Structure 1
Amino acid sequence: MQITIIGSKGQLGQDLMTSLAAASHRLTGLTHQSIAIEDPNSFSVLDEGAPELIINTAAYNKVDLAETDLKNAFAINASGPEFLAHYCRHRNIKLLHVSTDYVFGQEADRRSPYKETDAPGPINAYGRSKLEGESLVQAICPQHFIVRTCGLYGKAGKTGNGNFVETMLRLGRERDELSVVNDQHCTPTSTRDLSTAITRLITTNQFGLYHATNGGQTTWYEFAQTIFDLTGIDVQVKPISSEEYPAAAERPRYSVLDCSKLEQVTGYSLPHWKQALATYLES
């Protein structure tokens, strides 16, 4: 299949390029220097790749900044996917759009993973912008995959803008004690594993909405503690509440995703988050 990946130099984009190439797909990778999805006038570069499928990994993901930078957040996370959906519909091209667990969050006391059929309820501007993007893709482009995921980390984070794992490794070496929130339940996900799942999903033509994360669930405190346990870094990690870590945007207290639909359609289960983390650290 001829595939164009928007955001090909990001953490997910780089691993998608590797995974899809290994599956013998023909690829075109586009960076933000090549295309701005919020500007349809930049879409002529898409014609050059003659794609049968476009994968959009581009996003405005500065969660706290989005609270005040609404114009840019909604331009990239909502209008951008809308423009791509129109482009794909008019040319009979498939579209895979990557979304987020942050479309949930209103059920703070929830303890059962969210299915695709559960009603979303974002609690911050970033989540609202991503949900609007999802809705527009669903309404406009019949041949769509929407993949919600969580807390991505991948090898490109080691040299690019970083990720939670790399941040913890750096801080763990710099400090004697760290405070990490322990009341936000989610499933951090390896971009390598997510890329494997997407590579399988796109061959099914079973269009629709999917949840895709590593297995199990954890908190950011437990995730951080496991990072240090696996690497042997000696640092004291203190669990704190979200209220003790002030941030501009409220985060979901529970946003674990049920990935059983993806597993049924693709026959692939992403590894448990602890196994995925160990693999990442070993690499």
Structure 2
Amino acid sequence: MKITVIGSRGQLGQDLCTRLIEEEHQVSGLTHQQISIEEASSVASTLSETAPDLVINTAAYNKVDQAESEPEVAYAINALGPRNLARYCQEQQIALMQISSDYVFGLDLTRQAGYREQDAPGPVSAYGLSKLAGEYFVRALCPQHYVIRTCGLYGKAGKTGNGNFVETMLRLGRERDSLSIINDQHCTPTSTRDLAEALTRLISTDQFGLYHVTNRGQTTWYELARKVFEIAGIEVETSPITTEQYNAAADRPRYSVLDCSLLEEVTQYTLPDWQTALENYLQS
């Protein structure tokens, strides 16, 4: 299959390209310098050159707090960008995979069970709203679509690029004597290597639709940080705090664990639990 990966230098983009090539797909990667998804003309001219059977969009505006002060920028990249891709792919009868986020949830403060694909979304931030809008555009405009919700990504490209939560904790754990970390946001951090494996399997099924894809289990950012320090052998004093105490510009879901049973049913593949994934990442 001829596949074009947009955002090929990002954490997920790099791991996806590697895994797809291993499966002998013909892969072309595009960076932001090569395609501006916010511009329909850029989408059309660039994708006409790569002529793919499938487009995978991993590009996104991920500055969650900054999106509160510049929602129009987040919307342009996370919503209008996918809309441009969906329109082009529909016209050319190309399949489209759009990567979305667990941040489309968060409004339900009593939630204690993993969200399934049919559960009603409810974002609590400008970023979450922009990602949900992108989902709706893709699902409405492009019949051959995969929309993938995932969570808390970390991968090897984060070591040299913009970083990720795991790399940030490794750095801060070595720099400081004590850290205060949020302990009331429940989610499932996910390895981009494991996610790439799952997505590679999914595209071989031609079972289009909306999917939740994360590692298994759930944790909090505080518990994740503690596990990072334990595996890495870093001694640092840690204190759990609430979302309100941290006082970030954007609100976050208190519970955004995703139920991935649909993916497992379709692909016959189960991602590793988050602890195993983290150990594999830190040991590699």
**RMSD, aligned α-carbons:** 0.5
Q: Which residue of structure 2 lines up, in the alignment, with residue 5 of structure 1?
A: 5
Instruction: Say which SS state the counterpart of residue 248 (structure 1) adopts.
Output: coil
User: Per-residue CA shift, 1:241-275, capped at 9, x if unaligned?
Assistant: 11110100000000000000000000111100000
Q: Which residue of structure 2 lines up, in the alignment, with residue 125 of structure 1?
A: 126
Per the TM alignment, residue 47 of structure 1 is displaced from its structure 2 partner at its CA by 1.0
User: Per-residue CA shift, 1:16-50, capped at 9, x if unaligned?
Assistant: 01110011100000000000100112121111111
Q: Which residue of structure 1 lines up, in the alignment, with residue 56 of structure 2?
A: 55
For residues 15-54 of structure 1, the aligned pairs below 5 Å read: 15-43=15-43, 44-54=45-55
Instruction: Say which SS state the counterpart of residue 4 (structure 1) adopts.
Output: strand
Q: Which residue of structure 2 lines up, in the alignment, with residue 71 of structure 1?
A: 72
For residues 139-218 of structure 1, the aligned pairs below 5 Å read: 139-218=140-219
What is the identity, as a one-letter code, of the residue corresponding to 2:272? Answer: P
Distance in 2 separating the partners of 1:260 and 1:202:
17
Structure 2 unaligned runs (5+)?
none
Which deviates more, 40-49 or 105-114? Answer: 40-49
Per the TM alignment, residue 183 of structure 1 is displaced from its structure 2 partner at its CA by 0.2
Distance in 2 separating the partners of 1:3 and 1:96:
10
Distance in 2 separating the partners of 1:41 and 1:146:
23
Per the TM alignment, residue 77 of structure 1 is displaced from its structure 2 partner at its CA by 0.5
Instruction: Say which SS state the counterpart of residue 96 (structure 1) adopts.
Output: strand
Per the TM alignment, residue 92 of structure 1 is displaced from its structure 2 partner at its CA by 0.5
Q: Which residue of structure 2 lines up, in the alignment, with residue 222 of structure 1?
A: 223
Distance in 2 separating the partners of 1:23 and 1:177:
45
Per the TM alignment, residue 11 of structure 1 is displaced from its structure 2 partner at its CA by 0.2
What is the identity, as a one-letter code, of the residue corresponding to 2:183? Answer: N
Q: Which residue of structure 1 lines up, in the alignment, with residue 243 of structure 2?
A: 242
Structure 1 unaligned runs (5+)?
none
Output the TM-score relative to the length of structure 1. Answer: 0.99
Instruction: Say which SS state the counterpart of residue 200 (structure 1) adopts.
Output: helix
For residues 85-96 of structure 1, the aligned pairs below 5 Å read: 85-96=86-97
Instruction: Say which SS state the counterpart of residue 180 (structure 1) adopts.
Output: strand
Distance in 1 separating the partners of 2:74 and 2:270:
32
Distance in 2 separating the partners of 1:110 and 1:50:
43
Distance in 2 separating the partners of 1:248 and 1:189:
24
Per the TM alignment, residue 116 of structure 1 is displaced from its structure 2 partner at its CA by 0.1
Which deviates more, 113-122 or 40-49? Answer: 40-49
For residues 95-106 of structure 1, the aligned pairs below 5 Å read: 95-106=96-107
What is the identity, as a one-letter code, of the residue corresponding to 1:103? Answer: V
Distance in 2 separating the partners of 1:195 and 1:236:
34
What is the identity, as a one-letter code, of the residue corresponding to 2:222? Answer: Y
Instruction: Say which SS state the counterpart of residue 209 (structure 1) adopts.
Output: strand
Task: Calculate percent identity across the aligned residue pairs.
Answer: 65
Q: Which residue of structure 2 lines up, in the alignment, with residue 115 of structure 1?
A: 116
Which deviates more, 162-171 or 39-48? Answer: 39-48
Instruction: Say which SS state the counterpart of residue 62 (structure 2) adopts.
Output: coil
Which 4+ residue blocks in structure 1 deviate beyond 2 angstroms?
A: none
Output the TM-score relative to the length of structure 2. Answer: 0.99
Per the TM alignment, residue 101 of structure 1 is displaced from its structure 2 partner at its CA by 0.2
User: Per-residue CA shift, 1:193-235, capped at 9, x if unaligned?
Assistant: 0000000001111100000000000000000000000111000
Distance in 1 separating the partners of 2:262 and 2:138:
20
Distance in 2 separating the partners of 1:179 and 1:226:
15
Distance in 2 separating the partners of 1:47 and 1:193:
30
Instruction: Say which SS state the counterpart of residue 234 (structure 1) adopts.
Output: coil
Q: Which residue of structure 1 lines up, in the alignment, with residue 260 of structure 2?
A: 259
